Copies of this chain bind each other. A is one copy, B any other.
Amino acid sequence: MGEVRELSLADVSSHNTETDCWIAVSSKVWNITKFLDLHPGGKAVILKYAGADATTAYEEIHVPGMLEENLSSDKFIGNLTPSAPSADVAPPSAVQEATKAQEAPPTAPQTQVTVTVRQPTELPALYSLIAAHDFEEVAQRHFTPKAWAFYSSAATDLVTHHANKSVLRRVMIRPRILRDVKEVSIKRKILGQDSAAPFFISPAAMARLAHKDGELALARGAAAEGIVQCISSNASYPLGSIVNAGVDGQTFFLQLYVNWDRPKTAELLKKAASLGIKGVFVTVDAPVPGKREADERVAAEAVASAISGAVASNDRKGGGMGRLMAGYVEKSLIWKDIQWIKEVSGLPVVLKGVQSAADTMLAVEYGAAGVMLSNHGGRSLDGAQPTILVLLELHRVCPEVFNQLEIYVDGGFERGSDILKALALGVMAVGLGRPYLYSLAFGSDGVEHLTQILKDELETSMRLCGITDIDQLHPGLLNTQDIDHLVTNEVDRHPWVKWKPKAKI
C-alpha cells in the first residue's frame, strides 16, 4: 500500500478534463476519468467539479460511503491537504437545503460552493402535533421548496389527488353502542408478517430531502412502533443501510421500479432477498411518470438514489424530479414479467397501482400475492378514479378476489377513521406515504409520534363503533350511499355506451 500521497487543491486542479478527471471529496482525491461514463446521473453533472473539491455538492446528492463502494482502490490518488477554511460541509438537513434552493448553482467547476445557512424557523414541539395534517403544515414551512414540491405535488389538475380524500370522506360510519370496549386490538398479519397495526409506510422516493437520516429514520420509527416499512427503489440510502438501521426481525417490503436494464433489477431483487426483505411491491401504474406541475416548476439541486441510481437534476423545463428519476423505468413491463420477478426474488409479489377489477382478476391469474389499489397518490394519471371507488368496484365485480389475494389501498388516508373504513371493506392494510415523509421533519421521533396518533385514532374510532378487534370490522358499519352511484359494475366496458373503436388492444 505504501505512503498515502498528500495533494494540494492546486495539484488537483490541473486534472479537470473529460480525459483526465480528478475530484476531491471529503479530503480524498479520486481519479474518476473512467467512471464518468458509468455515472447514473450522467457525466455532465460531475464534470462541473472536475479538478475541484466536490465535497459539498457530493454530500448533497449522495449518502456517505457511496464513492468508496463504487470505485476500486486504485482510483484513490491521495489525501487533500487543507488549504483554507472551508465551508460547513456537514450533511445538509432539510432546513439547510431550504436556503440553498434559493441560491445560484455553481457556475464553474473550479469554484468551491459556499453554503450560507439561513436561520430557519424553529420546529414546533413534537407533542403539539396531534393529527397527520399537522405534520403536513410543518413540512410545508420547514422543507425546502423543492422537497415540498416533490412530495406534495400530484398530476396536472389534482383532480384525483383531491378526490382520493374527498370521496373517502363521503363514506359515513354507523356506530354501534353499549358494548364492552375496554380492550381493543389492532394487530394484523400483512403478507404473513406480524404488524402492530393494519397500516404501513408506503414507499416514497428520496426521503433524505426531508431529513438527513431519510429512510434510516423511517426504519427506526417503524421498528419502535412495530409497523412495516415498504422501501422505495428510489430511496436515498442503500438498501442494506436501511435494513440495518432497524432491529432484528423487523419486516420490510421493497417497492420496485423494473429497470429496462433487467440484470440490474435481478441484482437488486437478489440483494433484497438476501437482506431478509419479505415482499416486493412492483409499481405498475407508472410506466411513465405523471405530470406533476408543481414539481416541474421548482428548480432543484441534483439528488441521487442509492438503490436505483436514479438522479434528478435540473433540465431546461425546470426540475421535475418525478420525471427525471423515471428515466431507467421499463416502459414495456407486462403481465408475464410478474412470474420472472417472483422467480428471481423468491418473494411474494404485490402489484402496486392496480386501478380496476379487471386487472385485479388478472393479478390473481398471474400469481400475485396481493394488489395495492393506488393511483400513486394522484401523481400518475389525473382523472383516474379515487381508490375507494376501485375498492367498491371489486366488491361489485369480483368479490371473490378478497379470498384469492390480499388487498391493500392507499391515497388520501390520514385518519384512524379513514383506515377503519377501508378495513370494514375487506382491505388487509392501508398504506400512508406523504404523512410519513412529512413526519420526517422530526426524524424518527416524528415517525413514532405519527404512528402513535394513527393507532390512537383507529382505536378510538373502533371503540366508538362498538368494536374491539379489527377483525370484527364489517361493511354493515358503513353507509356508502353517497358514493354508490359512482361505482361501476363493468369489466373493461362501459355500462351503456356501445360504440366500439376500430383497433383492438
Among residues 473 to 499 in chain A, which have CB atoms less than 8 Å away from a CB atom of chain B?
473-476, 478-482, 484-488, 490, 492-499
Contact B288 A463 (CB under 8 A): yes
A191 at interface, CB cutoff 8 A: no
Picked from B469, B490, B502, the residue with its CB within 8 Å of the CB of A476 is B490
- A392 to B498, alpha carbons, bound, how many Å? 11
The stretch that binds B, out of A194-202, A350-358, A433-441, is A350-358
Instruction: For the complex, give the distance between the alpha carbons of A99 and B285 in Å.
Output: 50
The stretch among A53-61, A170-178, A263-271 that forms the contact with chain B is: A170-178
Contact residues in B for A338 (Cβ distance below 8 Å): 178
A359's partner among B176, B396, B482 (CB-CB below 8 A) is B176
Contact present for A285 and B177 (CB under 8 Å): yes
Complex Cα distance, B204 from A98, in Å, reads 45
A182 CB contact (under 8 Å) in B182, B332, B465: B332
* Contact present for A381 and B177 (CB under 8 Å): no
Chain B hits for A356, CB < 8 A: 174-176
**Docked-complex contact B417 and A472, CB < 8 angstroms:** no
Minimum CB–CB distance from A91 to chain B (whole Å) comes to: 32
Check A337/B178 contact, CB under 8 A, given A383-B172, A486-B482, A499-B426. yes
Q: Does A317 contact B (CB under 8 A)?
A: yes
Partner of A479, one of B381, B385, B399: B385
CB pair B464–A381 under 8 Å, yes or no, is yes
Q: Mark A378-400, 1 if CB is under 8 A from B, else 0.
A: 00111111000100100110010
Which residue of chain B is the closest to A260 with respect to CB atoms?
B182
Chain B residues whose C-beta falls within 8 Å of the C-beta of A487 in the assembled complex: 481
Kindly list 8 other residue pairs between chains A and B, CB separation below 8 angstroms, not including A130-B318, A181-B288: A175-B375, A175-B381, A291-B457, A384-B464, A395-B498, A425-B499, A471-B502, A479-B488
Residues of A within 8 A of B (CB): 127-128, 130-131, 156-157, 159, 169, 171-182, 284-288, 290-291, 293, 296-297, 316-318, 331-335, 337-338, 351, 353-356, 358-359, 362, 375, 380-385, 389, 392, 395-396, 399, 402, 415, 417, 421, 424-426, 457, 460-461, 463-467, 469, 471-476, 478-482, 484-488, 490, 492-505
